[in-house]
Amino acid sequence: MSDPAFPRWAAMMAVRFVATIGAVLGVVLLGRADDLPTRLLGVAIVAAALWVIATVPRALAHRWRSPE
C-alpha cells in the first residue's frame, strides 16, 4: 500500500533540490565573474533561488492541505 502523500513530498523536495543547485551555480558564476553585469546576474540567480527555496514548498503544502 503506497502513501498518497509521498508524491507531494517528493515534489517539494525536488523543488528544494533544484533551487539549491541553482543557488550553487549562481555562487559559482558570482565567483568567476569578471565584470559587473555578470556579478549582478549571479546575485540575481542566488536571490531567486533562495526565494524559491523559502516560498514554493510552503505554498505547495498550503495548496495541498486537506480540509479539516
Percent of the chain that is helix, strand, coil (3-state, to 5): 80, 0, 20
Within the chain, which residues score under 70 in pLDDT?
1, 68
Do 56 and 18 touch, CB atoms closer than 8 A?
no
pLDDT of amino acid 67:
72
Q: How far apart are CA 43 and CA 33, in angstroms?
A: 11
pTM of the model: 0.84
> 43-55: per-residue pLDDT in tens?
999 999 999 999 9
